[in-house]
Amino acid sequence: MARKKTTTKKKTTTKKMSLRPSKQNTIILGSLLILFSMALFFSFVSFYFTWQDDQSLLSEFADRNEQAKNLLNKFGASVSHFFVYKGFGLASLIFTVLLCITGLYLFLNLDKKGLLKKWIWGLIFMIWISVAFGFVAETHPLLGGLVGYEMNDFLKDYTGTIGVVLILIFGLVFILVRFFKFSPDSMAKAFAKGEKTIKDSKSTKTVKESINDERDTPITEPVEEKPVVIDTYTHKKDIPHLEKEDNPKDDFQVNVPVEEEESENLNMEVEKIVEEKEETDNIADKLVQDFGEFDPTLELGNYKFPTIELLDQHGSTGGITINQEELEENKNKIVETLKNYKIGISQIKATIGPTVTLYEIVPEAGIRISKIKNLEDDIALSLAALGIRIIAPIPGKGTIGIEVPNKNASIVSMRSVIASSKFQKAEMQLPIAFGKTISNETFVVDLAKMPHLLMAGATGQGKSVGLNAVLTSLLYKKHPAEVKFILVDPKKVELSIYNKIERHFLAKLPDSEEAIITDNAKVINTLNSLCIEMDNRYELLKTAMVRNLKEYNAKFKARKLNPNDGHKYLPYIVLVIDEFADLIMTAGKEVETPIARLAQLARAIGIHLIIATQRPSVNVITGIIKANFPARIAFRVTSKIDSRTILDTQGADQLIGRGDMLYTQGNDVTRIQCAFVDTPEVDKITEYIGSQRAYPNAHELPEYSGEESGTSIDYEIADRDAMFREAAEVIVTAQQGSASLIQRKLKLGYNRAGRIIDQLEAAGIVGPFEGSKARQVLVQDLVALDHLLSNEGN
């Protein structure tokens, strides 16, 4: 086992390395090219002075006793012989320059767009120069090199001397026009400029003289006042106007066009200077250009999403069968019952859902709504049906709704909701298809928006199926890189089917064997670890200057965040706790506090909680939990009080069970028939996913050393936390040794409060860890504490 683990770890590191090499390797390659080009340059230059002496050594390269005079010894002599003598002669130096430029581009990681152009022009220069030298200095082979000599010879054989001259002139013209951008115009301008600058120096003198001589007022005015006006406008446009109007003299007019021409030329140069691209954003652009956006799914690139065929139809063919007689009968009974109570109906309409039919009635004018509401039980009695719910009035409509269960409820299969286009096309971060509403519409919500979910209902009413529907929805929509689950299952059997996808979708503490947590003590550690993960994620978001996980991941994908600074793609984490009541009964505040903290703060950083409970009593669903779980689902409960505890309103007590549920995310309550997914189906899905290539391990949560690990630590007095004394006073005053108390009173983080508790234990102020109970406080009062602490140093 251990062996297996190490090899897999190695694999991941090599994989990670391979993502980064380009940047480091280009720097190395760049410096290598620069140094190599320098070596070539020195070799070539010194070759001109030493080639005669070294020529005899060329054939004795391997002989160590022989030494060449070239600055780079035999290497220099050989390479230069090849490049200079047998190659391009003096023009070979251009090659070293090109090599050096390439090295610099790589070393400084510059945009390599212009590099190819430089090489093409460099080679054209090399050929032209070597041919030119070959032509003018035929007897000096080192100037033109063998290439120059041979090409010259070749051309001469076919075109004669004049032909070679013409070809060389054409080459020169080509280079001047295309590379140096020479044109007859620009040459003429350059000449004119030369002349004018000479003239300028003369003319400024004459202007000054002429100012003094003749026109005093028209010239002194603009000279003194106008510059102030000019300052507020662009110089280029205003100066000419003023000067032209006021000074029709030739001397002034000459100055103006010269300036304009200069600015034209300057404009040309300005266009070339486009060197702003040095920000991280643009580096990111380049990275995105080079490698594309970061793809978090790449590590499991071949991952196949589960297919719809893995899910059963459960006998439902999608349509709902409702008996027309039943409809008519129910309508008549409703109308009659209401008539008995002197409530007239002006209109009635039925909407058939999978389990219930909604009869919408519009009462006659003047009828009080509360009257109908009070008749709920009577209507139920006359319809002889359980689970009647009256919605008076239906929010957003001017009608009163009466929900009557269908005699033959149809099952809403998970398959039908997963296959629905509403779910398939859902552009949500964490889409969940719960089931179908009363009007037979697939109900899809985004867990990321909820942002946490509380599920409650009496036993056997469909909670576990509901949890499976949530998890299945996510498995059908999300890649293993995008979401991780932490599953807490005190019943040990409900969620164990998800073990198969441990290395794909589950997250766990570093040292734990099982990914699915069944032990309540471990839940505390996991929750605290999640709190650390939350703090870490907030830190990452802060440095990335984004507000939530979505923006963070988008920025990371666009390669704007450097993995070397600790940034990484952050998957959503969904914590599912089945049987929360059990947990809160055994661990109490120790779970409630981290859960509340996570629920309050974790929404922005992609940690979402789903807690399910059988016992919806107030000591389980406490105020603090309720306040932080706006999205709630109630399956059937046994009493109105339970319904109120979950939903803050009654109604859940009138559900018919078997997945009939009420969903609220604030004010509105929606009745939904939960989609049914059976254990064998989930089994097939997890099998399908589990048989595919997985990550080496389950996603690791940050390490959390619980309070129990600190029992034997002997803390030095000097190492104590700055808040140690305050914490000791809080604990002694309250006579309750718990980290969460310190945390609350002193507003400290988990880790710090935990450390202080350890230090208090080491100082003998509190007793050892006692599981879910608070530690015993060993100091009676503040006087005793003072005494203890002041005697400590002695």
Ligand X SMILES: Nc1ncnc2c1ncn2[C@@H]1O[C@H](COP(=O)(O)OP(=O)(O)OP(=O)(O)O)[C@@H](O)[C@H]1O
Residues that bind ligand X (CB under 6 A): 411, 457, 459-465, 614, 658-659, 674, 676
DSSP for 690-725 reads: HTS---SSPEEPPP---GGGGTT----STTS-TTHH
| 455 strand-pairing partners | 612, 633
> Which 8-state DSSP code applies to residue 613?
E
Minimum gap (Å) between residue 616 Cβ and ligand X: 12
d(CA 351, CA 693): 47
Residue 456 buriedness (CB in 10 A; 0-12 / 13-18 / 19+): buried
Does the annotation flag 301 for ligand binding?
Answer: no
Residue ranges with strand state E in 551-642:
572-577, 607-613, 631-634
Residue 326 Cα distances to 126, 141, 401, 412, 437, angstroms: 96, 110, 18, 21, 20
Q: Hey, how many other C-beta atoms are within 10 angstroms of the C-beta on 635? A: 28
Take residue 473 and report the two structure tokens written for it. 């929805």
Question: Which CB sits closer to ligand X, 399 or 416?
Answer: 416
* Closer CB to ligand X, 656 or 694, in the complex: 656
- d(Cα 440, Cα 426) in Å, to the nearest integer? 18
Residue 463 annotated as part of some ligand binding site: yes
| Distance in Å, CB of 494 to ligand X, minimum | 6
**Token pair 């409530």: residue:** 343
**Ligand-binding site membership of 560 (annotated):** no
Nearest approach in angstroms of CB 460 to ligand X is 4
Residue 490 contacts residue 578 (beta carbons within 8 Å) = yes
CA dihedral of residues 642, 646, 648, 653 (deg, nearest 10): -40
588: annotated binding-site residue? no
Q: Is 754 exposed, middle or buried (0-12, 13-18, 19+ CB in 10 A)?
A: buried
User: What is the phi/psi pair of residue 661, to 5°?
Assistant: -145, 160
Residue nearest to ligand X (CB): 659
Residue number, 447 or 455, with CB nearest to ligand X: 455
Provide the minimum distance between the beta carbon of 461 and ligand X in the complex, in angstroms, as a whole number. Answer: 5
- Of 80 and 416, the one with the shorter C-beta distance to ligand X is 416
> Of the two residues 22 and 586, which places its CB atom closer to ligand X in the complex?
586
Contact assessment for residue 123 and residue 129, using Cβ atoms and an 8 Å cutoff: no
Least distance to ligand X, CB of residue 641, Å:
19
User: Nearer to ligand X by C-beta: 106 or 412?
Assistant: 412
The answer on whether 690 is annotated among ligand-binding residues is no
| Minimum gap (Å) between residue 355 Cβ and ligand X | 8
* Of 436 and 608, CB closest to ligand X: 436
Would you say 468 or 628 has its CB closer to ligand X? 468
Q: How far apart are CA 482 and CA 572, in angstroms?
A: 6
Here the contacts of 281-289 (C-beta below 8 Å, separation 24 or greater) are: 281/560, 283/109, 284/558, 284/559, 284/560, 286/111, 287/559, 288/558, 288/559
Q: How far is the CB of 316 from ligand X (least distance, A)?
A: 10
- In degrees and rounded to multiples of 5, residue 737 shows phi and psi of -95, 70
Shortest CB 681 distance to ligand X, Å: 12
Phi, psi of 665 (to 5 degrees): -135, 50
CB of 467 to ligand X, least distance (A): 8
Query: Does 457 carry a binding-site annotation?
Result: yes
- Closest to ligand X by CB, 71 vs 411, is 411
| Pick 248 or 460: Cβ nearer ligand X | 460
Q: Cβ 472 to ligand X, closest distance in Å?
A: 12
- 461 or 664, CB closer to ligand X? 461
User: Strand pairing of 442-446 and 483-488?
Assistant: unpaired
Contact by Cβ (8 Å): 263, 237: no
CB of 666 to ligand X, least distance (A): 24
Q: Are 441 and 640 in contact (CB under 8 A)?
A: no
Binding-site residues for ATP, please? Answer: 457-464
Binding-site residues, please? Answer: 457-464
